[in-house]
């Protein structure tokens, strides 16, 4: 990834050379260029701002230096369009999902605003040269966009493949699954008469995962109820038994969900992708199938059926635009709760490279079972019933 910064305070961006971005540069994952916008001014005072047309307080950043900078950076030329980021309090908020989206880009160019903002024509022009995103750090006003550019850089760069030593720590942290992170502890087990919660010392990974999930929910409910509504609204969604009339929508949902699986696992050889309406109707006969509707639309489903003391769980799906809100977890908890009485173990399959599924199942207490058979490219996970 290549990153360019246009700023009138290049020194402000010195921290980019430190710490993790610095290491990413060493590893060749990142190329980073900070440019002083004033080099594209031509007057004695290197003027980058002027008074606003229509009057009003403050100054506006002039268009010409930005226009020349875009030319010098060859934006809009050659192959591969750049994403041009304008840091501004009136932009879209920086979120983990935006950081993830930006981490897929080849080239980011940060235009750091100062004063009252940048002449709108710069943004309009940039839109003809590449993808434009206006991004805000939050609902407060900073003196300029440099701090925002630093924050965006850090959020994005740590998601680059090969950047973080421990990829698992990426998927377990706050916001990655729509919840805040649970509290964490390290040694010693007792410190100033304060004990680490006993469950964390129990060695029971299922109980630990359940405790952490519960803590994450509680924390999110207390601190960010705006997130919990979306992530926890199982009661609003209502999980109900599927009926035959659900089959066409189930087939559509299945295709939408398994296309993502196909991309993650780099194969179209996934049975669910090749089914017909009749296959879905046959599945409805053979399995206990549940669905979730949101505003009338079928957005989620899960199936279960008994094989002796094993409760086989399958076809857990949530519409791509509804993911990250806890619906998958709610469906999984539901299908576990309706397991046949003789069940001692829950079992399911997923693609071996379906990172998102692995994350959800791991958090729900499932463990990979390399010792149990699965179709090529798939893996088995199980969990003991309590």
Which H or E run contains 82?
none
**Which two three-digit tokens encode residue 67?**
């226009």
| Residue 329: count of CB within 10 angstroms of its CB | 23
What SS3 state is found at 348? strand
Distance CA 50, CA 66 (A): 14
The smaller minimum CB distance to ligand ADE, of residues 61 and 318, is found at 61
Report whether 247 contacts 280 (CB < 8 A). yes
Residue closer to ligand ADE, measured from CB, 136 or 354: 136
Residue 350 near ligand ADE by CB under 6 A: no
Let me know: does 94 contact 150? Beta carbons within 8 Å: no
In angstroms, what is the minimal distance from the CB of 88 to ligand ADE? 5
Residue in 143, 145, 152, 150 with CA at minimum distance from that of residue 94: 152
Q: Six-digit token pair at 124?
A: 């309009």
Contact range with ligand ADE by CB under 6 A, out of 134-142, 167-175, 264-272, 358-366: 134-142
* Alpha helix ranges (H) inside 224-326: 225-232, 234-237, 247-265, 277-286
Among the listed residues 6, 32, 83, 88, the single contact to ligand ADE using CB under 6 A: 88
Give the per-residue contact string, 202-231, with ligand ADE (x = CB under 6 A; - = no): ------------------------------
**Residue 7 in contact with residue 113, Cβ under 8 Å?**
no
Residue 98 contacts ligand ADE per CB under 6 A: no
Minimum distance from CB of 49 to ligand ADE (Å)? Answer: 15
Window contacting ligand ADE (CB under 6 A); options: 125-133, 140-148, 273-281, 304-312? 140-148
Non-local (6+) Cβ contacts of 19 within 8 A are: none
Residue closer to ligand ADE by CB (options 142, 164) is: 142
- Rule CB under 6 A: say whether 375 interacts with ligand ADE: no
Say whether residue 148 binds ligand ADE (CB under 6 A). yes
CA 279 to chain centre: 33
Residue (53 or 140) nearer to ligand ADE, CB: 140
Q: Which of 89, 206, 233, 377 binds ligand ADE (CB under 6 A)?
A: 89
Query: Does residue 142 interact with ligand ADE by CB under 6 A?
Result: yes
Residue 323 binds to ligand ADE (criterion: CB under 6 A) = no
Residues that bind ligand ADE (CB under 6 A): 87-89, 113, 136-138, 140-142, 144-145, 148
């Amino acid at each position: 990834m290549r990153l360019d910064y246009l700023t009138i305070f290049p020194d402000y961006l010195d921290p980019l050379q430190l710490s993790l971005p610095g290491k990413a540069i060493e590893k060749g994952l990142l190329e980073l260029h900070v440019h002083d916008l004033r080099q594209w001014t031509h007057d004695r005072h290197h003027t980058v701002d002027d008074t606003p047309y229509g009057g009003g307080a403050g100054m506006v950043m002039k268009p010409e230096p930005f226009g020349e900078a875009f030319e010098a950076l060859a934006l809009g030329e050659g192959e591969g369009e750049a994403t041009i980021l304008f840091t501004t309090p009136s932009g879209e908020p920086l979120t983990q999902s935006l950081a993830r989206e930006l981490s897929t880009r080849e080239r980011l160019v940060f235009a750091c605003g100062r004063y009252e903002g940048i002449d709108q024509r710069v943004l309009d022009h940039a839109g003809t040269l590449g993808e434009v995103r206006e991004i805000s750090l939050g609902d407060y006003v900073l003196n300029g966009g440099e701090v925002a550019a630093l924050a965006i850089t850090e959020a994005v760069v740590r998601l680059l493949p090969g950047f973080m030593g421990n990829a698992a720590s990426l998927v377990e942290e706050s916001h990655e699954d729509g919840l805040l992170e649970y509290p964490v502890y390290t040694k010693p087990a007792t410190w100033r008469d304060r004990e680490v919660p006993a469950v964390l010392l129990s060695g029971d990974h299922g109980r630990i995962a359940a405790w952490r999930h519960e803590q994450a929910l509680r924390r999110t409910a207390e601190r960010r109820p705006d997130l919990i509504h979306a992530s926890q609204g199982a009661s609003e969604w209502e999980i109900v038994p599927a009926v035959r009339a659900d089959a066409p929508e189930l087939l559509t949902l299945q295709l939408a969900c398994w296309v993502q699986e196909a991309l993650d696992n780099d194969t179209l050889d996934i049975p669910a992708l090749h089914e017909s309406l009749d296959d879905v109707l046959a599945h409805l006969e053979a399995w206990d199938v549940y669905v979730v509707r949101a505003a009338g639309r079928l957005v989620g489903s899960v199936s279960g059926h008994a094989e002796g003391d094993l409760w086989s769980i399958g076809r857990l799906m949530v519409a791509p635009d509804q993911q990250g809100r806890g619906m998958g977890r709610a469906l999984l908890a539901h299908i576990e709760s309706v397991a046949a009485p003789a069940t001692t173990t829950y079992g399911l399959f997923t693609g071996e490279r379906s990172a998102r599924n692995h994350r959800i199942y791991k958090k729900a207490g499932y463990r990979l079972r390399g010792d149990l058979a699965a179709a090529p490219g798939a893996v088995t996970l199980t969990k003991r019933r309590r």
